[in-house]
Amino acid sequence: MTARLISRLAAACALFGAATPALAAEVNIYTTREPGLIQPMLDAYTKATGTKVNAIFIKEGLAERVAAEGAASPADILMVVDYGNLIDLVDKGLAQPIKSAALDAAIPPAFRDPEGRWFATSMRARVVYASKDRLPDLKALTYEELADPKWKGKVCIRSGQHPYNTSLIAAVIDKDGKDGAKAWLTGLKANLARKPSGGDREGAKDILAGTCDLAIGNSYYVGLMRSGKGGADQKTWADSINVILPTFAKSGGTHANVSGAVVAKNAPNRDEAVKLLEFLVTDQGQKLFAETNYEYPVKAGAKTDPIVEAFGTFEPDDHPLVEIAKNRKAAAALVDEVGFND
């Protein structure tokens, strides 16, 4: 057989697929989420579908990296926490709209982009940690009540400029207007036991130490601490607090932030990306989010982890996050205006 004939046969096989095995489907994720927090979901998806999932953890500069890669970017999905970060990806032109009946059916309208450019995959409530010893009878609280002078010197919180807090302040602006939010933030500042610092877990630590009686933190941290995943010390911190699901005085809902994802603008495996997102909001995917991260499922009826379920009935504020997000810059400006972190 001549070299020319071999070449022609090889070309024919390639053209008609006669001798070339099908390539396994795959999908690429850029994520700011710690690998351990999402790997169980990705492994389950691969097991169910055979699709290979390549996840690259990018702690900082995810958007900048994707923008620099441009049309050559291998990223199919960009996965981040905080609705503000999701919206920023859209505003920077790094996401593309998709249509999915499965995603629309599973995710309430408040927790997805109306134009299909970002989707929440799980929720976390902005809650209050309360001392079991000093406030054993405190069962309910509104966000507005945190500014009540009766709590003077009793509240701990992380930096007011942290996205978790600017998101909450933006929601207060949404409910009470800028002037109302400024008065609330001023009152909350007057009630602080210490300068805003550390993380949410430190709020529980400081309650145990007697520095404060109340702390503002995310719900899932309590699950991580009480489960023992944060170590024996953190379990002791978490066991010293009760969790209160505050509500807004006007709407009755609890502020919820999200973790979520977008399909990258130049996704080379777009269809596979959509399929993976759809899996993440199935009952199986949502159960894994709840068990692994102690987050609230975004899909109604999906199971919540027992540790988190024990906090009580969670009824998230259902005003669309895209509307609340319009107040983010004003929220950050208010933090500086009242000298919250001083």
For 78, the token pair is 């960009």
HSE toward the beta carbon, residue 7, CA cutoff 13 A: 3
pLDDT in tens, 40-53: 999 999 999 999 99
* C-alpha Rg value of the chain to the nearest Å: 23
How many other CB atoms are found less than 10 A from the CB of residue 148?
A: 13
Q: Comparing 15 with 194, which gets the higher pLDDT?
A: 194
| DSSP state for residue 112 in the 8-state scheme | B
Question: Which amino acid does the sequence have at 308?
Answer: V
pLDDT exceeds cutoff 90 at 7: no
Residue 22 has pLDDT above 90, yes or no: no
Q: Other CB atoms closer than 10 Å to residue 16's CB: what's the count?
A: 9
Binding residue ranges for Fe cation? 220-221
Q: What angle do CA 320, 248, 295 make, to 5 degrees?
A: 65
Whole-number Cα distances in Å, 141 to 118, 137, 214, 228, 313: 32, 12, 11, 27, 14
Strands 241-244 and 119-131: what pairing? antiparallel
The confidence band for 252, taking pLDDT boundaries of 50, 70 and 90, is confident
Check whether 14 has a pLDDT greater than 70: no
User: Mind listing the domains of the chain with CATH numbers?
Assistant: 23-123+257-303 (3.40.190.10), 125-255+317-337 (3.40.190.10)
Alpha helices, DSSP H, located in the chain: 3-16, 35-49, 62-69, 83-91, 101-106, 163-190, 200-209, 219-226, 232-239, 270-280, 283-293, 306-309, 321-324, 328-337
Q: In this predicted model, what pLDDT tens digit does every residue of 125-143 receive, in sequence order? A: 999 999 999 999 999 999 9
Cβ atoms of 176 and 213 closer than 8 Å: no
Known binding site: residues? 220-221
CB 206 within 8 A of CB 153: no
pLDDT band at residue 23 using 50, 70 and 90 as cut-offs: low
In DSSP notation, 10-54 reads HHHHHHHTSSSPPPPPEEEEEESS-HHHHHHHHHHHHHHH--EEE
- Give percent above pLDDT 90 in the chain: 90
What's the pLDDT tens digit per position in 269-303? Answer: 999 999 999 999 999 999 999 999 999 999 999 99
- The number of residues making up the chain comes to 342
Sequence-distant (6+) residues with CB within 8 A of 201 are 217, 221, 225, 230, 234, 237
Q: What is the pLDDT of residue 253?
A: 95
Per-residue model confidence as pLDDT tens digits over 60-70: 999 999 999 99
